[in-house]
Structure 1
Amino acid sequence: MSGVVSGFTVIFIVVGAGYLLGRTRVLGDSAHEVLSRLVFFVCTPALLFHALVTSELSVIFSKTLVIAGGSAFTIGIVYVITARLWLHRSVPELAIGGLASSYVNSVNLGLPIAIFVLDDASFIAPLLLFQILIYSPIALITLDVTVTDPVLGRASRAAAMRDAVIAPLTNPIVLGGVAGLIVSALGLQPPAAILEPVDMLGNASVPCALLAFGLSLTGAAVFKKGESPRRDIALACVLKIVAMPLLAYAIARWGFGETGHELFAQVVIAALPTAQNVLVYATRYRRAQIMARDTTLLTTLGSVPSIAVIALLLA
């Protein structure tokens, strides 16, 4: 439990610092958007490249990849179908909502918990790979194709098909992940003169994303009536904090026969809150930003008792 408390304490302190920076306007009025773009275009691609280059592929391509990735993708699809039929949301809002309900905070909270609670950081690597190389590209391509310039209007079908091909080739996050995987698969070891600056930039991803999240809370009333899409947020939170851990338990326990510490680890990973990356994506494409912000905050708060209950039952 001390590892859980430690991990969440780090999160809250840095988010709080971002909130204070926003309240005092030390960084100016555009700080949130600038930091979000820095994370999207520079820091996260560097983080992913370095993480994959320095990882063993045998650890990444394991049954954890199927359990964590399968439960996340399934919950995301459940959100998309439910929100489409019940709430009648547009495709960009569905894409952000699907991520908000299932995209795990695998770095800034997942790694501390994996190290201090699970005593094995390798449990996080497969999920990180799935989210970077499969889940994010699907959502980002969807957003690239469906979000158009309001001045130009909706893209034509031909333009949409063209964008579907070009999007993964130009998205910096996808490029960083793919490049890291290729280098790792080829067994290449970049020189320290290259890896060290990449590592430095990557290390800035987590604190910058948390600061951007804190900045976004300035002057905002979470779950505010008339402003926040309450039904969307409630749906995403229930799926993320309750349904996803239960699904991961079912897949790990009855699909792969896992018990003991391995089963505990799979369920804890699934119970991690929504990643700040979702807010970064929402800000980048200017869609469902309030929904992403509120879901990230509420699932971060809700994951504390959720993981505590899981620890009591399975640890």
Structure 2
Amino acid sequence: MLDVLTGFLVVIFVIALGFGVGRLRLLGPGSVYTLNMFVFWIALPMMLIHFLSDADLAQLFGVNFAVVAISTLGAGAVGYAGYRFIAGKSRSNSLVAMLASSYCNGTHLGIPLMAHLIGDPTVTLPVVMFQVGFYGPLSVMMLDLSSEKRASHGLIRELVLSILRNPLIIGAVTGIGLALLKQNTGFVLPKLLAEPIAMVSNATVAVALIAFGMSMAEVKVLQKGLSPVRSVFAASLVKTVVHPFIAWLLGAFVFGTSGSLLLAMVLIAALPTGQNVFTYAQRFGVNTVLARDTVVIATALSLPAMAIIVVLLG
């Protein structure tokens, strides 16, 4: 447990370093975007290939995937019901609140955090696959049906192509293919390919956290008269408290897991709201301020929430 808590302090230090770099603008304009694109298109896929090629695939798509799916849908239902029936908002606005309460930052923050904290980024693969392959596309279609700003008639085709072109899906499928080859034939990547993949993979955590800290330095949230402050904090608390609590109930009492697997599942559920929520909201012109502010506030709440989870379950 002490090692994981120390890992949190290291993560906070690197994020703070990125925040300072962002405040001082040491890397110039547009640097956050460039670093994020490096992480998303190159480093994260390489990390998935590197770790998945030696992974136990049975553990990736068993209980972990079930807990991810059910807890995400449960937290989303809480967020939707609260915004729709308590706050009295429209269906489209409530769908954004649903996503803000349940859609994890499983890529840019989740993979680096799990790689550093528990030494296995592949535990985030179920949430990546579930969100990219099912939850995200389904939510976009629901937003399209309920929003006044309807998307183009080629929405389904666009969604399918976006999944097929997603570098994380490509990296995951490649890694799974290599793992199956190794299990069935003993094949391993030659050193000439394996070492560059490992080298780029090792850069993921530092670059992702630096970029994340820099992005936090550029965002202004909870602006008076513009931001729905109560709803932002409500969605953030559902994401960082209710979502991991549901995952813990499922993992411990429904599926009977314990130890490091239970800890990993609860930590993944405690990840903050993903940036994609703001992207979806902006695309349909619905509840964009709630989406943007919840991403930031949930991120600020997630690290102490995850530290408490480690203390309780570590």
- TM-score of the superposition, structure 2-length normalised? 0.76
Distance 1:281 1:192 in 2: 39
Shift of 1:291: 2.9
Q: Is 2:47 the partner of 1:44?
A: no
Question: What residue number does 1:170 align with?
Answer: 165
1:53 Cα deviation from its structure 2 partner: 1.5
Structure 1 residues 174 and 229, CA gap change in structure 2 (3 angstroms) = farther
The one-letter code sitting in structure 1 at the alignment partner of 2:304 is L
Alignment of 1:207 with 2:203, yes or no, is no
Tell me which residue corresponds to 1:59. 59
Contact 2:221/2:227 (<8 A) preserved: yes
Counterpart of 1:211 in structure 2: which amino acid?
Answer: I
Contact 1:132–1:177 at 8 Å: present in 2 too? no
Give the paired residue count. 295
Contact 2:251/2:262 (8 A) holds in 1: no
CA distance in 1, matches of 2:41, 2:29: 20
Alignment check: 8 A CA contact 2:101 2:239 kept? no
Q: Deviations over 1:126-178 (max 9, x none)?
A: x4221222223335546887999xxxx85422x11221221211122222222
Q: Write out per-residue CA displacement over residues 72-91 of structure 1, whole angstroms, 9 at most, x where no aligned residue.
A: 34324443554456444559
**For the residues of structure 1 that align with 2:280 and 2:150, how far apart are their CA atoms?**
18
Instruction: For residue 107 of structure 1, give the secondary structure of its aligned residue in structure 2.
Output: helix
Question: Which residue of the other structure, out of 110, 114, 126, is the alignment partner of 1:110?
Answer: 114
Matched, 1:298 2:297: no
User: Paired residue for 1:118?
Assistant: none
Q: Specify the SS of the correspondent of 1:75.
A: helix
Cα contact 2:79–2:94 (8 A) shared by 1: no
After superposition, the Cα gap between the structure-2 partners of 1:236 and 1:140, relative to the gap in structure 1 and judged at 3 Å, is: same
Alignment partners' CA distance in 2, 1:91 and 1:11: 33
Which residue in 2 is equivalent to 1:265? 263
Counterpart of 2:152, as a letter, is S
Report the Cα distance in structure 2 between the residues aligned to 1:43 and 1:95, rounded to whole angstroms. Answer: 30
1:18 shift after superposition: 0.9
Give the match for residue 184 of structure 1.
179
Identity of aligned residues (%): 24
The 8 Å contact of residues 69 and 131 in structure 1, kept in 2 or not, is answered as yes
Q: 1:232 to 1:102 in 2, by over 3 A?
A: farther
Distance 1:264 1:146 in 2: 32
CA gap 1:252/1:269 in 2 versus in 1, 3 angstroms: same
Q: For the residues of structure 2 that align with 1:172 and 1:11, how far apart are their CA atoms?
A: 25
Q: Tell me by how many angstroms 1:267 deviates.
A: 6.6
Residue in 1 that maps onto 2:193: 194
Q: Distance in 1 between matches of 2:276 and 2:174?
A: 21
Structure 2 letter corresponding to 1:195: A
Q: 1:269 to 1:139 in 2, by over 3 A?
A: same
Deviation larger for 28-37 or 265-274: 265-274
Shift of the 42–274 alpha-carbon distance from structure 1 to 2, 3 Å rule, reads same
8 A Cα contact 2:53 2:179, kept in partner: yes
Using a 3 Å threshold, how does the CA distance of structure 1 residues 262 and 290 change in structure 2: closer, same or farther? closer
Q: Deviations over 1:75-126 (max 9, x none)?
A: 24443554456444559845752554685954333344436xxxxx5xx74x
Cα-to-partner distance string for 1:15-51 (whole Å, 9 max, x where unaligned): 1111111111111121122222222222222222222
Q: Residue 135 of structure 1 is aligned with which of 131, 135, 151? A: 131
Distance in 2, matches of 1:282 and 1:39, equals 19
**Per-residue deviation, 1:282:** 4.7
Shift in alpha-carbon separation, 1:205–1:145, aligned structure 2, 3 A: farther
For residues 256 and 49 of structure 1, the distance between their equivalents in structure 2, rounded to whole angstroms, comes to 29
Select between 61-70 and 205-214 the one with higher mean Cα deviation.
Answer: 61-70
Verify the 8 A CA contact 1:32 1:216 in the aligned structure 2. yes
Q: 1:268 offset after TM fit, Å? A: 4.5
1: CA distance between counterparts of 2:224 and 2:277?
24
Amino acid of the structure 1 residue aligned with 2:126: F
